[in-house]
Each structure stands twice: as structure tokens, then as C-alpha cells.
């Protein structure tokens, strides 16, 4: 049986129970809205309260993907050209607070997280999903649709 055939399918938003049913080494397929975010977005969310930020989507139960996608804009919207992971440790100083404040249940990226984030993940029920290295185009092809680009002018295409 292949990894795809053995894969666990997870549907977003995730519950704590969903997270607790995942184990190290599980191959997962994800259905739902995934939020991308890098350094600037993490810092912004860290410095603001939930009440100060107007998000179109509730982050509770969400997965945040440490990714700076390359996208192409057309009159139909955005298409993702490349969606490779960025190093998750760069967000270590912020991630623990985002997990507790916004109810994030999953983090995708490469390289793992540090101790502070790990403690928050255990406390609040959050999972780290290590993405496939060197597969930026492959991952981009798995994106069905870009629903929104948040704060494009403030952060730029890679960070928004």
C-alpha cells in the first residue's frame, strides 16, 4: 500500500481531537483553507490583539503554512506558481502566542519549531506538519484556489 493510500485525510478547521489522532510519521492530506504567513505577518499578529485585527477568516482550528508563495495575478484572480516552505524557526519568537491567541491547530513548514512553541502546541493541541522539501511546484499544483490576499500593499506579495 502506498503512502497516499495510507494517508490520513484531515478536514479544516481542526479540533483538538483531530490533532490528538495524528502521530509522528503520519502522511496527511488536507482539505480546507490554509493560511500562509511568514515573518512580517507573524510579527504583525503577535503585536496586535484579536480585537485590533480585522480578519476575513477565523484562525481557530486553522493551519498556518510558513510559506512565501510565488503567485501570478490575472483578471480571474491569483494562481500559485510556487508554494515551497520556509524555515519555521524564523517564526519561533511569535508562534507560541499565535497558537494560544488565535486557536491555530496546525503549523506547516520545514525544520520544526523551538521549545517555546512546542510547549504551546502541547498545551493548546496543535500539530507540526513537515512539508515535502524541494517540491514547491508540486505543492503549488495542489492549491485549488486563492481565496484572499490580506494586506498586500503593507506586506508585499510574498508576505501577504
Three-state secondary structure of the chain: CCHHHHCEEEECCCCHHHHHCCCCCCCEEEECCEEECCHHHHHHHHHCCHHHCCCCCCCCCCEEECECCEEEEECCEEEEEECCECEHHHHHHHHHHHHHHHCCCEEEEECCCCHHHHHHHHHHCCEEEECCCCCHHHHHHCCCCCCCCCCHHHHCCCCC
pLDDT at position 92 over 90: yes
CATH number of the domain located at residue range(s) 33-155 in this protein: 3.20.130.10
**pLDDT for 160:** 60
Q: Which of 12-16, 129-133, 134-138, 155-159 has the highest mean pLDDT?
A: 12-16
Q: What value does the mean pLDDT take over residues 70-99?
A: 94
**Residues with a known catalytic role:** 42
Mean pLDDT, range 55-83, rounded to an integer: 91
Q: 0.85 cut: is pTM over it?
A: yes
Q: What is the mean pLDDT of residues 35-54?
A: 91
pLDDT at 86 over 70: yes
Amino acid at each position: 500500500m502506498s503512502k497516499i493510500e495510507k494517508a490520513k485525510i484531515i478536514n479544516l478547521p481542526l479540533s483538538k481531537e483531530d490533532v490528538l489522532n495524528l502521530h509522528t510519521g503520519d502522511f496527511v492530506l488536507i482539505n480546507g483553507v490554509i493560511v500562509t504567513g511568514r515573518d512580517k505577518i507573524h510579527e504583525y499578529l503577535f503585536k496586535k490583539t484579536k480585537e485590533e485585527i480585522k480578519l476575513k477568516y477565523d484562525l481557530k482550528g486553522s493551519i498556518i503554512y510558513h510559506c512565501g508563495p510565488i503567485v501570478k495575478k490575472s483578471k480571474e484572480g491569483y494562481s500559485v506558481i510556487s508554494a515551497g516552505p520556509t524555515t519555521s524557526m524564523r517564526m519561533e519568537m511569535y508562534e507560541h502566542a499565535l497558537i494560544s491567541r488565535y486557536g491555530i491547530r496546525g503549523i506547516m513548514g520545514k525544520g520544526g519549531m523551538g521549545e517555546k512553541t512546542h510547549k504551546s502546541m502541547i498545551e493548546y493541541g496543535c500539530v507540526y506538519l513537515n512539508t515535502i522539501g524541494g517540491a514547491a511546484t508540486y505543492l503549488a499544483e495542489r492549491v485549488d484556489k486563492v481565496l484572499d490576499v490580506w494586506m498586500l500593499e503593507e506586506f508585499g506579495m510574498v508576505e501577504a
